[in-house]
Structure 1
């Protein structure tokens, strides 16, 4: 499938589903069954800093940054509905707000060497060209700037609950575009090994500071093990991984 076809399919599905994800998986949360920013303090003091959200969704992570005192709030997202939602969510922020509707593989007019912090909360894995996207991120950051992202652990969808037990149903080592079962095969996401994310960051000029895949499981004894982010599944494999890197 060509990249343009993947973008078209994924954008269509997100336009239809945007309202369902309003406010979900946003800072201070990094993702399901993972420690939060309140525990990790990866961003540190963002007061007065320029920040860019890759895959900003409904804008709630940017609102969090604004509430922490960030001076400029920039966001990029693929879908019209998400940009519209983010515009509303951020309408009362005192900081400068600039939002762009664009694929993350393209630069829609973002300035070079401008941002203190670039981050992506459960969005980076949607890119069809990881190296191109990370190269853009690197160019947006000031020297010494920080890039933090979270995404679904690449082992997570390899493991499924069947007939009373968790079993491996897909290869972890085989990479490439796949119809995503969590979306009832209405979107295509590239499966990548964790080492691919790490090595591509290094190739693009980043220094890795932290890689986190700790599991935090809520007290939900009635949790259905067939749920996509079931806590029982998280006892076997982390749902989320988080990376902090720096542009040197």
Structure 2
């Protein structure tokens, strides 16, 4: 279910300018960047704990985060993994990626656009394939075809597993209300501002993963993410 017109998405330049205006005076060192993230996003630490346990349980040492934002979770994850592990953080926001390159030199920080770029460019930059690819609340910006395209790229580049964390699951009990809201906005022409993303039911997610050729291994919830899918490349 589309939240609003896709043509009104933030461009990479728009998003970088907006974030630079908010954070440029605060993201002045590694310590300041970590402090800023933890003071505003502490709820995401439960996700970090989950990823650390998951990586050790599945002997995963090469991890790709897609839509990494400030890249702090990725930096902390790398510090928790065994020596020699690889963590790549990809985001379309050039300011956030440049900041990560400056303050987190051990990360592989790559500017990456879900809608235009190919996962192979990240694999080439890292010089490796990945055990796990993670979407931490970022995949919802893609429509079905875009989501399938990116999942297919991950599969074709031999990524072993995908963890798709999203806060946008629509419970079946809420579906009529969501549909009525979409109809009302369409009829009234209400401006909902910039595009944010798509809401989906559990069956919508399952159909996406199947079409992209992935095996759904597990469904759960973690913290603020009301739907977490673990996918396996078989």
TM-score by length of 1: 0.63
List runs of 5+ in structure 2 lacking aligned partners.
24-32, 187-191
1:14 deviation in Å? 5.9
| Structure 1 position 240 matched with structure 2 position 226 | yes
| Structure 1 position 37 matched with structure 2 position 50 | yes
Q: Which residue is 1:107 aligned to?
A: 118
List runs of 5+ in structure 1 lacking aligned partners.
160-167, 179-183, 217-237
TM-score by length of 2: 0.67
| Structure 1 position 151 matched with structure 2 position 166 | yes
Q: Is the partner of 1:114 in helix, strand or coil?
A: coil
Structure having the larger proportion of residues in strand: 1
1:99 deviation in Å? 2.0
Are the counterparts in 1 of residues 12 and 93 from structure 2 also a CA contact under 8 Å?
A: no
Distance in 2, Cα, partners of 1:43 & 1:138 = 19
Q: Which residue is 2:29 aligned to?
A: none
Superposed CA offset, 1:89-140 (max 9, x none) = 423x3xxx32221212321613388111111111111224211121122223
1:41 deviation in Å? 3.4
RMSD: 3.9
In the alignment of these two chains, the number of paired residues is 198
Are the counterparts in 1 of residues 168 and 200 from structure 2 also a CA contact under 8 Å?
A: no
1:208 deviation in Å? 1.2
Distance in 2, Cα, partners of 1:28 & 1:51 = 17
Distance 1:11 1:151, change over 3 A: farther
Are the counterparts in 2 of residues 29 and 37 from structure 1 also a CA contact under 8 Å?
A: yes
One of 131, 140, 147 as aligned partner of 2:148: 131
Distance in 1, Cα, partners of 2:229 & 2:196 = 23
Distance in 2, Cα, partners of 1:25 & 1:116 = 26
Structure having the larger proportion of residues in helix: 2
| Structure 1 position 189 matched with structure 2 position 200 | no
